[in-house]
Amino acid sequence: MCRALAYLGQPVLLDHLLFQPDSALIRQSYMPKMLHMLNLAGFGMRAWDRHSFNAAKPFSYASTSLPVFDRNLKALAEKVRSTCVLAHVRGVAYSTEVDISLQNVHPFQYPDFKLALAHNGDLSRMREMKPLLLQFIRPEITMLISGTTDSEWIYALLASQLKDPTRQCSAEELVNAVDRTLTIIRDVRAQLGIATSSSVNLFITTGEQLAAVRYCFDFGCYRTEDPARVHEANMNFLSLWYTSGREYGFYDDEWKMTGGSDTADSIMIASEPLTKDTSTWLEVPEYSMIYADTHSGRPSVEIHYFS
């Protein structure tokens, strides 16, 4: 399984998210504290800086190399400060059938599209689902699909549920689009008789909005002909956590957000807490979406539940 983090708020040095904290995203790729699976299939990132040239266009980085050995990424992280970040380390099944390529590195963001998406999970029997999903993906968006992952198909499907994916959408529009996307996937799975546990944890951002979905189809159902092949990820809901506060950084010998939610100007969502002290992190409920934006100058956090 993959791991991801999303940040929205005051400018933060990328190094303080990716490399420095006790359980920074890059550290999670080789030394995880939750779900002990190594993430060896690449790293990708979108990072926005509202003070940069063409601020609506994010910094973009993608590599199939192991991020812990990526000197270019480390050098970039030590120089760039961002107001919104979506970063992802890709984990795949240990198999020669898996495609390791730049086209399959998250996050996905098509040219001129506002929405960027990263996925942690795995849709069972995705090859069978693709022909049925095509009818729900707009032709002009279908033409943009270049990789082989279930994640990019989820992205294309979600973008097709928005009236105009090149424009900023409202919170309500995004919630409805995610709800329709999950409903379509559920219906297609039912048509094909798929009832195998399939996680769909999504990280979504436009640079001004942040959302994360914690969802699993048919949790607890898995193939039993060979119990040894049931991965530990299928035995639990994939974790998803968030924290909010002010001035994220290194204080009193530890990484943390200062202050509390009442005075928060920043929010962070991650597959697992980045900091040693996890008491300030809250777990996102199963079958829900957390949404935040900074239209009022501070993160306005909402939780939406899906059936």
Token pair 């729900």 in the structure block, residue: 136
Residue 97 token pair: 């059938």
pLDDT beneath 50, residues of the chain: none
| Domain range enclosing 150 | 3-305
Q: What is the DSSP string of 3-47?
A: EEEEEEEEEEETHHHHTSSTT-HHHHTTS-SSS-----S-EEEEE
Which pLDDT belongs to residue 265?
87
Contact criterion met (CB below 8 Å) for 197 and 218? yes
CATH number at residue 280: 3.60.20.10
pLDDT digits (tens, 9 = 90+) for 24-39: 999 988 877 776 666 5
Helix 150-160, helix 126-133: angle, nearest 10: 20
Q: Is the dihedral of CA 157, 158, 161, 167 positive or negative?
A: negative
Contact criterion met (CB below 8 Å) for 177 and 165? no
Which pLDDT belongs to residue 252?
84
Distance of CA 249 to the CA centre of its chain: 22
Which pLDDT belongs to residue 32?
78
How many domains does the chain contain in total? 1
In angstroms, the Cα distances linking 232 to 37, 134, 248 are 9, 31, 32
Which pLDDT belongs to residue 97?
61
Contact criterion met (CB below 8 Å) for 211 and 290? yes
Q: List the alpha helices (DSSP H) in the chain.
A: 15-18, 25-28, 71-77, 126-133, 139-142, 150-160, 171-192
Largest CA distance in the chain: 56
Kind plus residue range of the DSSP H or E element containing 283: strand 282-283
Which pLDDT belongs to residue 279?
86
Which pLDDT belongs to residue 226?
66
Which pLDDT belongs to residue 233?
59
Which pLDDT belongs to residue 178?
98
Which pLDDT belongs to residue 156?
98
Which pLDDT belongs to residue 94?
53
Q: Of 85, 82, 126, which Cα lies nearest the Cα of 104? A: 126
Q: Of 150, 104, 109, 160, which Cα lies nearest the Cα of 127? A: 150
- Tell me the whole-structure pTM to 2 decimals: 0.93
